Structure 1
Amino acid sequence: MKGSKKVIAALNKQLTAELSAADQYNTHAEMYADWGLHSLYERMHHEKDEELEHAKRLIERILFLEGVPDTASREPIKIGKTVPEMMKNDLEHEYHVINLLKEAIKIAEKEDDFQTRQMLVGLLDDSEEDHAYWIEQQIRLIDMMGLQNYIQFRAAGEPNPHG
């Protein structure tokens, strides 16, 4: 089905943001594993997988609309050096992804592509209610517990997955 060029461009912009998020989350997950923060590793590894699932859905939709998925482009990512910095950077990127989703939803609606709109609303729900909310919650926990207590709390979990 031939899709709107505006919709395909918005989907590719979203795809770039999702793949960039996956790269950032993967790096942060590996840093958490290296530091022995097992539960943070597990969660960020999960978040990376969810971003890749979002990317897969976007690629499928772009192909359905007879577009070409841009899987090579990336946005600059921000790798933190401390847990709070990593959380802040991840939350900033998640807010960016959410704003792009809202823009893409408006474009899809304006172009009368209601199936794309519906898919994007699902991604928005996941981004707002799961990803961003969880990171906001972690930042609040750091503020309430203090960084040392938070790190001790997050060190619990399975041993390092890399050895």
Structure 2
Amino acid sequence: MWTNPRTAGFLSQALSHEMTVVQQYLTQANLCDCWGRGEECAYFRREAGEELEHAGKIIRHMLTLGLAPNATRLEPAHPGRDMTEMLGFDWHLEAEAVRLYDDALRHAQRCRDDASSRLFAELLADEQAHLQELDRMLAELAQKENRHG
């Protein structure tokens, strides 16, 4: 089965990105566990699980296209020294994902690749929701910091 090379590239990039984010969230979950911050640990573990589901969807799609999944470009984790820094690092990763999936979706639509378009649209919506949640959490942290001086 022939696959547009640029679509294959977007899928490989997406898989590498999702696995990078899984690594990031698991690192942060374990750090929060070391700090005795169970609620934050649970949050990061849930996020890692969601991102792992994204990776699974990408892998399934790659397999249906006859592509061998290969996440070769994992970025190092950036744990952060406190919650604000952690969420800031995560915000940048999620913003990167939004840009990636927006570009990939537009490409798939131009190619009239409905299956890839559906996948990228779903991933884009999920990542936009993550970004909004991070915006909310960062705003709450900023308010707490302002109240406590």
- Regarding TM over 0.5, the answer is yes
Cross-structure match for 2:143: 144
1:24 aligned to 2:24?
yes
Q: Which residue of 2 aligns with 1:45?
A: 45
Deviation at 1:82, TM superposition (A): 1.7
CA contact (8 A) 1:10 1:107 kept: no
Alignment deviations for residues 88-108 of structure 1 (CA, whole Å, 9 cap, x no partner): 001111100111111111111
The residue correspondences of 1:35-114 to structure 2 (distance < 5 A) are: 35-114=35-114
Structural RMSD (CA)? 1.7
* Ranges in structure 2 where 5+ consecutive residues have no aligned partner: none
Determine helix, strand or coil for the equivalent of 1:146.
helix
Deviation of 1:71 after TM superposition, in Å, equals 2.5
**Contact map agreement 2:31 2:79 (CA 8 A) in 1:** no
What is the alpha-carbon distance in structure 1 between the residues aligned to residue 33 and residue 146 of structure 2? 17
Could you report, residue by residue, the CA deviation over 1:40-62 in whole angstroms, capped at 9, with x for unpaired residues?
Answer: 11111000011110001001111
Give 1:144's aligned amino acid: Q
Q: Separation in 2 of the partners of 1:124 and 1:134? A: 14
Partner of 1:121: 121
The normalised TM-score by structure 1 is 0.84
For 1:80 and 1:65, the matched residues in 2 are separated by 38
Distance 2:81 2:145 in 1: 17
Q: Per the alignment, in what secondary structure is the counterpart of residue 79 of structure 1? A: coil
Give the CA deviation at 1:38: 1.2
Q: Write the distance in 1 (CA, Å) between the matches of 2:88 and 2:44.
A: 14
TM-score, normalized by length of structure 2?
Answer: 0.92
CA contact (8 A) 1:63 1:69 kept: yes
The higher relative CO (CA closer than 8 Å, separation ≥ 6) is in 1
Structure 1's consecutive aligned runs of 4 or more residues displaced over 4 angstroms after TM superposition are none
The alpha carbon displacement at 1:147 in A equals 8.1
